[in-house]
Amino acid sequence: MRRVVVTGLGALTPLGPSVSQSWSRLLQGASGIRPILQLPNYKDYEPHCPPETAVAQVAGFAATNHPDLFTAQDLRRMSLFTQFAVVAAQEALIDSQLLDLLHRESSLNDRFGCVLGSGIASIHDFYDSILSFDGGKKLSPTFVPRILANMACGNVSIKFQLRGVSHCASTACATGNNAVGDAYNFIKLGYNDVCLAGASEASVHPLALAGFLRAKSISPDGVSRPFDGRRNGFVLGEGAGVLVLESLDHARARNAKIYAEIEGYGLTSDAHHITSPLESGDGARRAMQMALGSYNPSQVDYVNAHATSTVLGDRAELRAIQNVFQGSLNAPLKVSSNKGAIGHLLGAAGAVESIFTIKSLQEGVVPPTLNLETVGGSQGDDIFTDMGPIDLVKGAPERRELRYALNNSFGFGGINSSILFKRWDASN
C-alpha cells in the first residue's frame, strides 16, 4: 500500500478567508461567532429565532473578489457552498504548487481526483425556489444542479480539469473527515496519485437555524462552550476546507513541501439513534481505535475533538477518549475543540479541523477551547471528575512537541470518523 501525505491546504472559515488568517486568529483566541441581531438580514430570522441565538458566517468572502474564478455564468450555476469550495480548492492548489503544473502537464489531470462533500448543500436555493414556485414557470433551469451535494466536487473538477476519481461524501457532520479518509484510501489503493479532499457548507440560513432550534441542538444564548459545565448546544457555522493529498512517491518526485502524513482512518456506526450518540461513546471509541490501527495509543499527543458543545455529545466523546487512552499514556494527552471559536461548520467541520490539526502538528502548538471555563459540571458529568492523564486545553495555546494527532468528527445518523495524522519527518 502506498503512503499518503498532505501537500496543500485551503480554507474559508468564520475566522478568515484563508488558512493563514483563520489559523492565526484561532491561536489569538478570536471568535467568528456573532448574534443574529448583528446580521444585515436579521428581520429574516426574527419571527423564528430568539435574538440571543448566534451564527458563525464565513469572514471576508465575496465572489466578486475572485474574478479569476467566477464568471457571471458561473455564479448563476453555482450555489454558495460550491463557491466556497472553489475558492478553498484554489488556495490548496496554489499552496501545493500544483495549479501551474495542472496547466503544463495534462497527464497529471487523469490521475488527479476530487473528493468533496457537503452535509446540507444549498438550503438557500431550496427555500427561495419553494417560496417562488408557481408550477414551474419561474423555476430556474439551474435549480437542480445548484442543490445537488456533489456539485462542489463537480464544479471544482471542471474548473481545474481534474479527471481522476470524482466522489461526494455526504455524511452529515462527519462529511469532511469522511471525504479526507476516502481520498486517502483512493490514493493508497492506486486509483489516484493526487486528490483534492474536503467539504463545504453554506447553511447559515433562517430555515436551518430554526430547524436546529426545534431539534434542541442550538445554544439558545449564542455561546459555544465545548466541554464546559454550562454547555447547552452548538452555534451554527459555515465554511470550507480543502486539502491536497498525494502519494509520497509522487510528492517526492516533484520535491513537494509536505505538511503531514495520514497514518490511519476509522469509521463506524453507533446503530443507535438518528441524533443522539451512545452514552458510552462506544462508536467513537471504535472509530479512534480503527484509525490507530497497530499504533499504540501512547504515541498520540493530541486529539482535536468533535466536541460541539452539546451535553450528551461532549460527554460521550470524552468517555470514548478515556476508554481508548486510559492506562496507556506516559504524558498528558492534550484535547481541545475548535468549535468555541468557529461554531459548528456541519459537513465542513472535519475538513477545516483536519487543517487545524495539521497546523498544530507542524507548529507544535495546541489551540485552546474557547469559552471553556469550568470543565464539566452538567448533570451526569461524572466522567469529568477524574480524567486521569487527559488534559483539556483552555485559556491559551500550549506549545509542545507533537508527533501524532487524531481528528474526530461525528454526524447525525450515528456516524463516527477519526483520522490519524503524523507530523512530517523527512527522515522517514
Which residues are part of the catalytic machinery? 173
Written as nine digits, the cell of 313 is 455529545
Residue with C-alpha cell 481505535? 289
Sign of the C-alpha dihedral, residues 355, 357, 361, 363?
positive
Q: Which residues contact 219 (CB under 8 A, 6 or more apart)?
A: 53, 54, 225, 231, 232, 233, 234, 235, 309
For residue 268, the cross-strand partners are: 416
Task: Count other Cβ atoms within 10 Å, centred on residue 190.
Answer: 11
129: number of Cβ within 10 Å: 17
DSSP helix/strand/coil, 423: strand
Radius of gyration of the chain (CA): 20
CA distance 425 to 3: 13
| Helix or strand holding residue 419 (H, E) | strand 415-423
Residues 6+ apart with CB under 8 A from 126: 147
Cβ atoms < 10 Å from Cβ of 40? 6
**Vertex 260 angle, CA 259 and 266, to 5°:** 145
